[in-house]
Amino acid sequence: MNSKNLSGKVAIVTGASSGIGLATAKLLAGQGVNVALVSRSKEKLERLSRELPGSLAVPADMTKIPQITRMIKKTREHFCRIDILVNNAGQGYDAPVEKINIGTFRYIYDLNIAGPLVAMQQVIPIMRNQGGGTIINISSGTALMHLPDMSTYSSSKRALAGISMAARQELKDDAIVVSVVYPYITVTNFEKNTIRESPQDNWEQEDATGPFPPDSAEYVAHKILEGIISGEAEIFAHDWMRNRGDLDA
């Protein structure tokens, strides 16, 4: 797949109302892709759909299986096909292992793993019948690290990467390409929206900036586009992230 033949393709982008998802939706729309905009924020999606030609607002809570199923069905009925799925919706949770709230733990795993998995299960038969497709799952640089207080989030993103790489092997004969993108620290509302057990447990962004300043959401969106076009298994925000042995805190 290349940028020239993306025009007319249909993509689902979850978490499209802000941050990386918003930047990705705009970038894909600029490439001529028809984008199904997914998040819980109905009003934001409807405003965005008026800005992006060919887009469709499809509100859905990615922790609710019936809503995911309806979202996929509505997208297919509207566009008659689904070529690209970008599983971007997710949320952080900061808590030391001793203080992890099991209810919050389950919520994070429902959002960060089960939601993307259900979306994959829904689009795979559609893509197979079309002769192929692309699935991009957004992991995190924290999946390559061992950071205090971030075990729930980082392990959820590590699990998503593991599911993705297994699916990549399972679906290669169906011409369905599954890839993982590992963003670095990104300038979004992610930290603001992260769930924390107590203020003193906050993970300070400046403690883990590494050798680079935070990236823009637009930069990560271009990495996602790079993954769609190249079909590479893993796409890292920066080359140094490939050397996982150097990433332990």
Distant-in-sequence, close-in-space partners of 123: CB < 8 Å, separation ≥ 6 = 12, 72, 82, 85, 133, 135
Q: Which residues of the chain have pLDDT under 70?
A: 1-4, 198-211, 244-249
Helix (H) or strand (E) holding 19: helix 19-30
Instruction: Give 91-122 pLDDT, tens digit per residue.
Output: 999 999 999 999 999 999 999 999 999 999 99
> Which residue is it, tokens 């859905």?
60
pLDDT of residue 66: 98
Instruction: Give 132-149 pLDDT, tens digit per residue.
Output: 999 999 999 988 989 899
Beta strands per DSSP E along 76-170 = 84-87, 93-94, 133-138
The catalytically annotated residue of 93, 107, 109, 153 is 153
> Which residue is it, tokens 């392990």?
155
196, β-bridge pairs: 94
Query: Are the beta carbons of 94 and 201 closer than 8 angstroms?
Result: yes
Name the residue among 51, 41, 50 with its Cα closest to residue 16. 41
Cα separation, 165 vs 238, whole angstroms:
20
Q: 28-32: long-range contacts at Cβ-Cβ below 8 A with a sequence spacing of 24 or more?
A: 28/84, 28/225, 29/53, 29/54, 29/55, 31/3, 31/6, 31/7, 31/225, 32/6, 32/7, 32/8
153 as an active site residue: the answer is yes
Domains and CATH numbers, the chain: 3-240 (3.40.50.720)
Name the residue among 232, 181, 226 with its Cα closest to residue 31. 226
Cα separation, 72 vs 81, whole angstroms:
10
187, β-bridge pairs: 216
Q: pTM higher than 0.75 for the full model? A: yes
